[in-house]
Amino acid sequence: MSEARVRLLRWVIRGVRSVVGGLAAMGLAFTNLPLLAASVVALALAPVPFLGLALAPWTMTLVRMRADLERRRASRIGVLVTRPYHPAPEGAMAGGWKRFRWIVTDPATWRDLAWLLPGAIISFGLGLVTVLVPLYGLAGLTLAPLWIWLGTGWYGYGALWSIDSFSEGLLCVPKGAVILAIGLWIGPWLRRVDALFARLLLAPTTAAGLRLRVTQLTITRADTVDAQAAELRRIERDLHDGVQARLVSLRMVIGLADTLIDHNPAQAHKLLAEARASSGAALVELRHLVRGIHPPVLAERGLAGAVRALALSLPVPITVDVDLPGRLDTPVESAAYFAVAEALTNMVRHSHAHTGSVSARHSEGTLTMMVTDDGAGGADPAAGTGLRGIERRLAAFDGRMALSSPAGGPTVITMELPCALSSPRITPSSATD
């Protein structure tokens, strides 16, 4: 298909989708009114013992579900709306005062309520226009000629109201086409206006946004500190129980060989051979340890090289498409590498995949990495620690992970890390200069 036709098709699909969205918006608008009424009643009944404290949080939960739906709808067409609510306080029981106070003191509650009525009106109005204009265009394109053909002279369409003659009827076709095109063209814009209005009241205020950010940073900082501490403990344990113990025994063996060398050279030789084997094992352990802390190839070749090297060492063939014009900052590079490594390890262990792929791109200040496989799917971040570990690693840098893994596959893990890219590494010239 030619480029122009693909673009036309996309444009039409976008238009049709907006019409469907408009239709849904009109329907959803009607749910706002009973919710508003219920909220008013619930708040009015708040002083009533027992019932009052339970009713308001309960209706507000419904309102929040409705608002969340609207946030999702807006986010889907590219207007990102974050959830603004305070997190629930600990020990807040249903029907308790704490829970009631949590709901009522949250400014987002009142902004939700304030949105219900105007939101419904705007949604309905804009939805109506989104649906009716293309529908009218479609009528001109198909129905008007049909009616003329049937011999009815009463139907009016477009600028020339009544259709008296056959040629006037035929004019409906281009008019209908133009109106349909206009309808499909304005549809996405109207959906966007609707979403922007929702964001006006449903998005966090600046203060709420900052509060959310602080909460999130507190959590990720605690996670990062925990993870770092655990990592240090692991390294300490590996050194202490592995290499250090080996070196101690090595010293003992060499010492023993030293004392034996004069009167039992054969035994001393045996001990020395043993010592050499033991030092070899210590080196192997150290090498594994170093690889776990920071793989040498990552230091030497950066993310692209390290991922390529990693892919080579896996039993499943992996296509690597990593093309970065420069190096990342060391901590980010390390986080990105270990996130990919974790995803690939998961894949090899659990997915039964035959092939996989890794790609990474950097644009507009974000590194986007994708790890996919053709395996069995059904990966669940809640089930394993691996995917959680990836989330934690990325969260330390404000990064995110999204997972799509329907049963039967394929699994796609998308990871995003906001980061800067340093200028391309200049390989120092080894020539005579």
Partner 1 sequence: MRVVIAEDHALLRDGLTRLLQAFDFDVVAAVDNGPALLPALITHRPQVAIIDVRLPPTFTDEGLQAAIAARAQMPGLPVLMLSQHVEPMYAHELLSAPNGGVGYLLKDRISDVEEFVDAVRRVAGGGTAMDPEVISQLLVRREPLAVLTSREREVLGVMAEGRSNAAIAAKLRITEKAVSKHINNILTKLDMPPSDDDNRRVLAVLAYLDA
In which residue are the tokens 């704490």 written?
Answer: 98
- Count of positions on this chain that bind partner 1 (CB under 8 A): 29
**Shortest Å distance, C-beta 397 to partner 1:** 23
- 315: contact with partner 1 by CB under 8 A: yes
Q: Residues 12, 146, 312, 383: which binds partner 1 (CB under 8 A)?
A: 312
- 349: contact with partner 1 by CB under 8 A: no
Per CB under 8 A, which region of 123-131, 147-155, 292-300, 385-393 contacts partner 1? 292-300
Smaller CB separation from partner 1, 206 or 427: 427
- Residue 205: alpha-carbon gap to chain centroid: 23
**Shortest Å distance, C-beta 347 to partner 1:** 14
- 294: contact with partner 1 by CB under 8 A: no
Smaller CB separation from partner 1, 98 or 301: 301
- Within a 10 A sphere around the Cβ of 264, how many other Cβ atoms? 13
Smaller CB separation from partner 1, 49 or 325: 325
Q: Residues 10, 76, 287, 349: which binds partner 1 (CB under 8 A)?
A: 287
**Shortest Å distance, C-beta 356 to partner 1:** 12
Q: Residues 41, 207, 210, 283: which binds partner 1 (CB under 8 A)?
A: 283
Q: Residues 178, 297, 324, 421: which binds partner 1 (CB under 8 A)?
A: 297
Q: Residues 9, 94, 290, 420: which binds partner 1 (CB under 8 A)?
A: 290
- 280: contact with partner 1 by CB under 8 A: yes
**Shortest Å distance, C-beta 428 to partner 1:** 6
**Shortest Å distance, C-beta 330 to partner 1:** 12
Q: Residues 10, 291, 349, 361: which binds partner 1 (CB under 8 A)?
A: 291
Q: Which of residues 329-348 bind partner 1 (CB under 8 A)?
A: none
Q: Residues 78, 174, 317, 424: which binds partner 1 (CB under 8 A)?
A: 317
3-class DSSP string for the chain: CCHHHHHHHHHHHHHHHHHHHHHHHHHHHHHHHHHHHHHHHHHHCCCCCCHHHHHHHHHHHHHHHHHHHHHHHHHHCCCCCCCCCCCCCCCCCCCCHHHHHHHHHCHHHHHHHHHHHHHHHHHHHHHHHHHHHHHHHHHHHHHHHHHHHHCCCCCECCCCCECCCHHHHHHHHHHHHHHHHHHHHHHHHHHHHHHHHHHHHHCCCHHHHHHHHHHHHHHHHHHHHHHHHHHHHHHHHHHHHHHHHHHHHHHHHHHHHHHHCCCCHHHHHHHHHHHHHHHHHHHHHHHHHHHHHCCHHHHHHHHHHHHHHHHHCCCCCEEEEECCCCCECHHHHHHHHHHHHHHHHHHHHHHCCCCEEEEEEEECCEEEEEEEECCCCCCCCCCCHHHHHHHHHHHCCCCEEEEECCCCCCEEEEEEEECCECCCCCCCCCCCC
CA 25 – CA 39 distance, rounded (Å) = 21
Q: Which of residues 98-127 bind partner 1 (CB under 8 A)?
A: none
- 432: contact with partner 1 by CB under 8 A: yes
- 89: contact with partner 1 by CB under 8 A: no
- 427: contact with partner 1 by CB under 8 A: yes
Q: Residues 276, 293, 330, 366: which binds partner 1 (CB under 8 A)?
A: 276
Q: Which residues bind partner 1 (CB under 8 A)?
A: 276, 279-280, 283-284, 287, 290-291, 296-297, 299-301, 305, 308-309, 312-317, 427-433
